[in-house]
Structure 1
Amino acid sequence: MLNRFREAKAMEIAQLRELAERGAMPRPWYGHRPSFSARLRGRGPGALIAEYKRASPSMGHINGTLLPRDAASLFEENGAAAMSVLTEETFFKGDFAFLGACAGHGLPLLRKDFLFDPLQVDATASSPASALLLIVRMFPDVDALAAMIQRATALELEAVVEIFDEQDLASARLAGAGIIQVNARDLDTLEVDRGNIERLAARRGAGEVWIAASGVSEPSQVRSAAAMGYDAVLVGTAIMADPDPGSVVRSLARAGGPEVS
């Protein structure tokens, strides 16, 4: 599946290369970017990253009626610490423009997409995003991942580096990752192993920010992840598929926080 995700980005990257060759790449966005990591540390453990996701390969259509700007307002009002925005078009029905639509509500924005070309980092910097997602398995080697992290940092973007197993974690650390996202879903097979979050929690390093993703959908799971030491949890489908997404965000946000032991 990762190869299909990579192939789906070919046209986008070709367009970015054409813009770069003409000197027409969009300029960096110079507005205020709230710190993604600082917000999670301040609101954790178990801080909620609420995700705006219209569709997914495993679920198909999820929610096409909730507008991005309305979602950002709803998430902020109900206690989310940050917001993840799917911008991938083919499989997730996202749009790069969603980032701009979600800005202005005080939530640090994470661009969630399949990013592996430096020009995609430059493009992200033209948006109000505070952070971008880099998936270890999308890169041929540690050096390529490290270059992307360094490029993001130079453009004042934080890199959230996603792993699935111990080997991915080793690569992420060698590349200089400071924010680690543990995905319970294997993106090669799309199968979910909820035990993945618990197994890898024991390897959390001092000073790192850790996020649990794909294996959390209920308040009890937020509390469990917080107790394991996760600074935050990322939840998308459980929020977007519910008829009352605000109430889901509220219940999940209340489950985490400094009071969780």
Structure 2
Amino acid sequence: MLDAFAKAKQAEIAALEALAAAGDFPAPWAGERPSFVESLLRRGPGAIIAEYKRASPSRGDIAPELRAADVAMAYARGGAAAVSVLTQEEHFRGRLEFLDEAAGCGLPLLRKDFILHPLQVRRTAATPASAVLLIARMVPVERLALLVPLCRELGLTAVTEIFDEADLHRARQAGARVIQVNNRDLDTLAVNLDVSRAMVARRIPGEIWISASGITRHAEVAEMAAKGYDAVLVGTSLMEGGDPAGALERLRSGEGET
């Protein structure tokens, strides 16, 4: 799947290169970006990054009728620490404009997409996003080592996603400080929370750690917090059913769990 995701981004990168060559590249966002890290630390351990996710390759359509602005506001009212916004079009039915629509919630926004090129980072900096996802195994470590400091230079937090120890080594080589452990294998789409349970033993002081994918219950949020994660990222289980506000409330309270 990672190869398919990377292939799907080539047209976007070519369009950004054409904009840059023509001198028409969008200017950086002039507004305030709430601190992604500070918000997680203020709410954590157990902070929730709630995701606006309309579809996925594993589930198909999830909630394409829900608007980014409405969902982000519901998440803010429900106590989320940040909002992750999927912007990838082909496989997730996302759009970059969803970041602008979600910005009114006042929470830090994480752009979740497949970022392979510095111009994608610069384009993200032209939106209200506070953070951007980088996937360690999708680019050579030399490219990752350019993207991480570029994010910092542009006022964005680089959230570097890993799946195993090799990815963690690459992330640290690139200077990453915010580490997201994905419990979903993006090659097979299988989910296993044991990935997060095992990887957190490799955490070192000064890093921010996030567990992502497969978390559906308050007990799992509490478990990840107890094991040393600053936050969890939750998408599908909040969006399916068409009531993200209620789903977030139940996830935070544990109401109805046995």
Indicate the TM-score class for this superposition, using the shorter chain for normalisation. over 0.9
SS across alignment from 1:202: helix
User: One-letter code of the match for 1:149?
Assistant: V
Find out whether 1:77 has 2:62 as its counterpart.
no
Aligned to 1:224: 223
Unaligned runs of 5+ in 1: 256-261
Deviations 1:88-136 (A, max 9, x none): 0000000000000000211100000000100000100000000000000
Paired with 2:198 and 2:78, the residues of 1 have a C-alpha distance of 30
1:102-141 equivalences in 2 (<5 Å) = 102-140=102-140
1:87-236 equivalences in 2 (<5 Å) = 87-140=87-140, 142-236=141-235
Paired with 2:55 and 2:104, the residues of 1 have a C-alpha distance of 24
Paired with 1:27 and 1:78, the residues of 2 have a C-alpha distance of 33
SS across alignment from 1:85: strand
Q: Which has the higher contact order (CA 8 A, sep 6+)?
A: 1
Shift of 1:77: 0.5
Paired with 2:116 and 2:253, the residues of 1 have a C-alpha distance of 35
SS across alignment from 1:103: helix
**Contact preservation (8 Å) 1:239, 1:249:** yes
Paired with 2:181 and 2:22, the residues of 1 have a C-alpha distance of 39
Deviates more, 1:245-254 or 1:177-186: 245-254
**Contact preservation (8 Å) 1:48, 1:252:** no
Q: TM-score, normalised by structure 1?
A: 0.95
Shift of 1:254: 4.3
The root-mean-square deviation of aligned C-alpha atoms, in Å, is: 0.9
Moved over 2 A (4+): 251-255
Deviations 1:11-55 (A, max 9, x none): 111100000000110000010000001110111001000000000
Unaligned runs of 5+ in 2: none
- How many correspondences in the alignment? 254
Q: TM-score, normalised by structure 2?
A: 0.97
User: One-letter code of the match for 1:89?
Assistant: E
**Contact preservation (8 Å) 2:63, 2:242:** no
% identical aligned pairs:
54
User: One-letter code of the match for 2:64?
Assistant: G
Shift of 1:191: 1.3
